[in-house]
Amino acid sequence: MDHLTIKPFPKDFLWGAATAAYQVEGAYLEDGKGLSVQDSKNHSTRFHDTSVTSDHYHRFEEDVALMKELGLTSYRLSISWTRIYPDGKNLNPQGIEFYRKLFATLLRHNIKPLVTLYHFDHPQALQDAYHGWYGEQMIDDFTTFARTCFKEFGDYVEYFMTICESNNVVLYPDLIGGVPAGIETEQWRFQVSRVMALANAQVIKCCREILPSAKIGPCIGYAIAYPATCDPKDVMAALNEDEFRTFYPLDLICLGRQNPTVVNYFAERGRDIRLTAEELELIKTAQPDFIAFNYYQSDVAKYCPENTVETQPEFNLEGKKGGYVYPQFPGLYAGSSNPYLERSDWDWEIDPIGLRLAFRKLYDRYQLPLMVTENGLGAYDYFENGQIKDDYRINYLQQHIMQMQLSISDGVQVLGYYPWSFMDLMSTSNGYNKRYGFVYVDRDDNDLKTLNRYKKESFYWYQKVVKSNGQYLQQPNKQELA
């Protein structure tokens, strides 16, 4: 559907950028902070080291000043659980003080914080005690952490996200500590999905009691699935991917219902994943104010016969096209590449129109306001002659923002946009080889160097987009809308 009239972005649109604590703060054991599951992965690959990262913990005032210069009206960050509760149980006042100072600095520059309560980094002590999100106790421990955040930071924060990408952490277990020995992967997946849904509901109810005027919602990662061909078997495979990967967990969190196809699929294989009536009722009473979703790429799904050997997805670690391992889930779907789209060096398909499709599907299904809380291009950036020319990132973001504006013109209620990331940070699977930021951080995976900050070309471009509330994109010399 083409539009003769493109609607402007709302006047109160949240133009932001995003980071996560373990990827940007560093200071991983300073001022009383405890060990998180991410800290425990230090040096598990040559990329993963949380000890310093971008040193935001010591340089946050400098970084917030850059956010102000960029023109951000909002900043999405996560609170490190182990700064607040180092062992998951005992409060650390120094952690409270750090975030108070950070929030006060943001508000002084008229930047609204959007706070992610959980971004893959729960206390290692809770992982050791009961396998983290696999254990029922996680519901109460996470609620205790969230309640403290609401009480301590409620004067500063208007928007909260509960759990980042609850659907993707079950697809990629190693993101949050892995599957414990002796537990079957699918058993782990649905127990974690259940525990996260119940914890999400408890935290939303807690927020309503303590901060009735705050806005809170879940966050998912959404890679919309296309059928590999118009063969009905491939179309069914794409529907399976959408329903199993995205809509099952989101239906549970937002609607308090379990997708019957998913329930029946596992029942036929001897696994009962049904929640009790009481659990579903609890979830229904904790309706979110919005849905946040992270969008980088789309997927392709093809028919996957029952006798296929199961293959779990694996990230491309080398940044050379062809290194990604596509999943094969017998009887459901198999992943494949898209011949109509360009790919990044890490095999992520670049699909701006897919963002508009995601908006339309999510808004029609849930009728809740939406915000994009991650969207960006990971790439090799080069610091040459005092400049970082990242026109490829500008092109990526420009096309996606244009599709977001078309979604608004379609009638979708969009609250805000938070590209990943404000500054270069430790990519979970690729370290500092894979950069996303508007701000270049002078370091690499082998050398901390100066850690100085430098503005990329994309910084100045996004500055114009934000200042004009998106109108800069509509100048005559800008790329035509798709």
Strands 159-163 and 215-217: parallel
As a whole number, the mean pLDDT across the chain is 94
Element (H, E) at 460: helix 457-467
The CB-based long-range contact list for 468-471 (8 Å cut-off, 24+ gap) reads 469/8, 469/9, 469/11, 469/13, 469/15, 470/8, 470/9, 470/13, 470/401, 470/405, 471/8
Answer whether 111's CB lies under 8 Å from 72's CB.
yes
Which pLDDT score, from 0 to 100, does residue 39 have? Answer: 96
pTM: 0.95
- How far is residue 50's CA from residue 28's CA, in Å, rounded to a whole number? 6
Residues of the chain with pLDDT under 70: 1, 3-4, 475-482
Catalytic residues: 165, 374
C-alpha to C-alpha distances, 442 to 193, 217, 393, nearest whole angstrom: 38, 35, 18
Name the percent of the chain in helix, strand, coil, to the closest 5. Answer: 40, 15, 45
Beta bridge partners of 36: 123
- Give burial (CB, 10 Å; 0-12/13-18/19+) of 324: middle
77, 74, 37: which is closest to 57 by C-alpha?
Answer: 77
- How far is residue 394's CA from residue 436's CA, in Å, rounded to a whole number? 11
Tens-digit pLDDT profile for residues 327-378:
999 999 999 999 999 998 888 899 999 999 999 999 999 999 999 999 999 9
Structural domain boundaries of the chain? 14-221+256-296+346-474
Answer whether 30's CB lies under 8 Å from 58's CB.
no
Q: Which two tokens stand for residue 305?
A: 């016969």
Q: Which two tokens stand for residue 1?
A: 């559907």
Tens-digit pLDDT profile for residues 130-152:
999 999 999 999 999 999 999 99
Query: Is the Cα torsion angle 333, 334, 340, 342 positive or negative in sign?
Result: positive
- How far is residue 93's CA from residue 85's CA, in Å, rounded to a whole number? 9
The amino acid at residue 70 is L
Fold of 14-221+256-296+346-474: TIM Barrel (3.20.20)
